[in-house]
Amino acid sequence: MKTVSQLGDLRGKRVVIRCDFNVPLNGTIITDDGRIRAALPTLRALLGAGARVTALAHLGRPKGRIDPAFSLAPVAARLGELLGQDVKFAADTVGPSAQATSVSLADGEIALVENVRFEPGETSKDDAERGALAAEYARFGEIFVSDGFGVVHRKQASVYDLAKLLPNAAGELVAKEVSVLSKITTDPERPYVVVLGGAKVADKLAVIDNLLSVADTLVIVGGMAYTFLKAQGHEVGDSILDESKVATCREYLDRARATGKKILLPVDVVVAEGMDFDARRAVGEVSVVPADAIPSDREGLDIGPESAKAVAAEIAGARTVFWNGPAGVSEISEFAGGTRAIADALVSSEAFSVIGGGDSAAAVRAFGHSDDEFGWISTGGGASLEYLEGKELPGLAVLEGSN
């Protein structure tokens, strides 16, 4: 891929950049600005070179409708604070405000237009509809820079179609993401441990299928672990279970045994009657039980202390670790112990650690860890997983020099 450093003299050039500013909000308060900070190296390079930068981004899923709850106005304010300069904010996406704001930029100035997902054409399945919207985006610049890694697996107007209309390049973030993920899928330093968590096993099956031939150990935690425990013949009570995937999980366990790979599952779990998300607390008594003895009326909500020790030991002996997905409902303190143990083990480890996925990244920051305590924190949960599956990502394939 061509990168920003290969674009030549950018002074006075109008550059349109796709960023990923899909940050978590509490009202209008940004609770984790990691994705905004991840865009700073590319933005500073462009602005320092004298480019006139118009940024495109999305927030949430407004489904093609204008919804003030998903406005990028708080992002523009925070971006300005981090850049140390004014970020002009357009009140629409491709309308009069956006066009006037973009045209008004001087050398080294930046504008952010409103949420691209307010436009129905952004995520349309119709090529012509997406193409028409991309043509509107193209009016913002003469060069396109793709720096929103979290959306490169989407065939969307501001990601894919716009790249076909303008000379383009990958931003520093996208180039770094590709470099890191390529390394851990083709030539990782061994032992290579992959820790997969999160709620749904179906979301990770293709990754497991691909990584069984690459990783030395797969650690399965979070809600997805209960389908694997069921595949071993264990009772899982009211825990998250995908009955349709039990046979597939059993096949993976058999395949791992046959090929000398290790799949590490929880040996104990934290259970309760359930959880109250609004009150941020457990429902009923919280207790630790063996993973093969979950009561039929209890729900597994975190890995237990013995499981946490086992995962930490695997990480301690690794040279490369990829982690995606929390070990439990880490937003609730009673069920955050497993996720915290994984984060602490990575910080203590000498392995090159890669954290993929917004939930895992948000968790480690909530625990007080800084980004530089890890080898790399990916900004693209779905994109990083699809890359590890071996899929072609449209937003990368379309960039000049990608093929």
**119 pLDDT tier (thresholds 50, 70, 90):** very high
Q: State yes or no: is 262 an active-site residue.
A: no
394, part of any domain: no
- Of 175, 207, 232, the last residue of a domain is 175
Give me the amino acid identity at 403: N
DSSP-H helix ranges across 201-297: 205-211, 225-231, 246-259
Assess whether 296 and 340 both reside in one domain. Answer: yes
Q: What is the pTM of this model?
A: 0.91
Q: State yes or no: is 358 an active-site residue.
A: yes
- How many domains does the chain fold into? 2
- Of 175, 210, 227, the last residue of a domain is 175
Which of 184, 294, 307, 283 minimizes the C-alpha distance to 238? Answer: 294
Assess whether 110 and 213 both reside in one domain. Answer: no
**CA-based end-to-end distance of the chain:** 8
234 labeled part of a ligand binding site: no
What local confidence, expressed as pLDDT, does residue 357 receive? 74
Assess whether 87 and 213 both reside in one domain. Answer: no
Whether residue 360 contacts residue 340, with contact meaning beta carbons closer than 8 Å, is answered with no
287, part of any domain: yes
Mean pLDDT of 268-283: 93
| Mean pLDDT score across all residues of the chain | 95
**382 pLDDT tier (thresholds 50, 70, 90):** confident
Which of the following is catalytic: 200, 261, 281, 365?
200
pLDDT tops 80 at residue 401: no
Between CA 245 and CA 243 the distance in angstroms is 5
**326 pLDDT tier (thresholds 50, 70, 90):** very high
**4 pLDDT tier (thresholds 50, 70, 90):** very high
What local confidence, expressed as pLDDT, does residue 237 receive? 97
59 labeled part of a ligand binding site: yes
161, part of any domain: yes
Domain membership of residue 293 as a residue range: 188-389
11 labeled part of a ligand binding site: no
2 labeled part of a ligand binding site: no
Assess whether 148 and 205 both reside in one domain. Answer: no
Which of the following is catalytic: 34, 50, 95, 382?
382
Assess whether 171 and 250 both reside in one domain. Answer: no
- Of 154, 175, 196, the last residue of a domain is 175
Assess whether 157 and 249 both reside in one domain. Answer: no
Mean pLDDT of 84-95: 98
293, part of any domain: yes
What local confidence, expressed as pLDDT, does residue 403 receive? 38
pLDDT tops 80 at residue 164: yes
257, part of any domain: yes
CATH of the domain at 283: 3.40.50.1260
Assess whether 125 and 222 both reside in one domain. Answer: no
The full DSSP string for 331-358 is TSGGG-HHHHHHHHHHHH--SEEEEESH
φ/ψ of residue 270, rounded to 5: -90, 125
**115 pLDDT tier (thresholds 50, 70, 90):** very high
Mean pLDDT of 331-345: 96
Q: State yes or no: is 35 an active-site residue.
A: yes
**Long-range own/partner contacts, residues 358-361 (CB < 8 A, 24 or more apart):** 358/22, 358/24, 358/32, 358/35, 359/198, 359/325, 359/326, 359/330, 360/197, 360/323, 360/324, 360/325, 360/326, 361/32, 361/34
Whether residue 211 contacts residue 218, with contact meaning beta carbons closer than 8 Å, is answered with yes
Give pLDDT tens digits for 19-57: 999 999 999 999 999 999 999 999 999 999 999 999 999
Assess whether 119 and 77 both reside in one domain. Answer: yes
331 labeled part of a ligand binding site: yes
Assess whether 359 and 383 both reside in one domain. Answer: yes
Higher pLDDT, 161 or 277: 161
Assess whether 305 and 171 both reside in one domain. Answer: no
Whether residue 171 contacts residue 145, with contact meaning beta carbons closer than 8 Å, is answered with yes
Distance of CA 153 to CAs 73, 186, 296, 386, Å?
25, 20, 40, 7
Whether residue 252 contacts residue 224, with contact meaning beta carbons closer than 8 Å, is answered with no
360 labeled part of a ligand binding site: yes
50, part of any domain: yes
- Please report, rounded to a whole number, the percentage of residues in the chain having pLDDT higher than 90: 92
399, part of any domain: no
274 labeled part of a ligand binding site: no
Least confident of 115-129, 144-158, 350-364: 350-364
Assess whether 77 and 217 both reside in one domain. Answer: no
Q: Which residues are 52's β-sheet partners? A: 14
Whether residue 223 contacts residue 240, with contact meaning beta carbons closer than 8 Å, is answered with yes
Which of the following is catalytic: 13, 35, 78, 245?
35
Please tell me whether residue 49 adopts helix, strand or coil conformation: coil
Assess whether 57 and 201 both reside in one domain. Answer: no
Which of the following is catalytic: 171, 198, 304, 358?
358
φ/ψ of residue 264, rounded to 5: -100, 120
Whether residue 88 contacts residue 113, with contact meaning beta carbons closer than 8 Å, is answered with no
94, part of any domain: yes
Which of 202, 144, 149, 204 minimizes the C-alpha distance to 376? Answer: 149
DSSP-H helix ranges across 232-304: 246-259
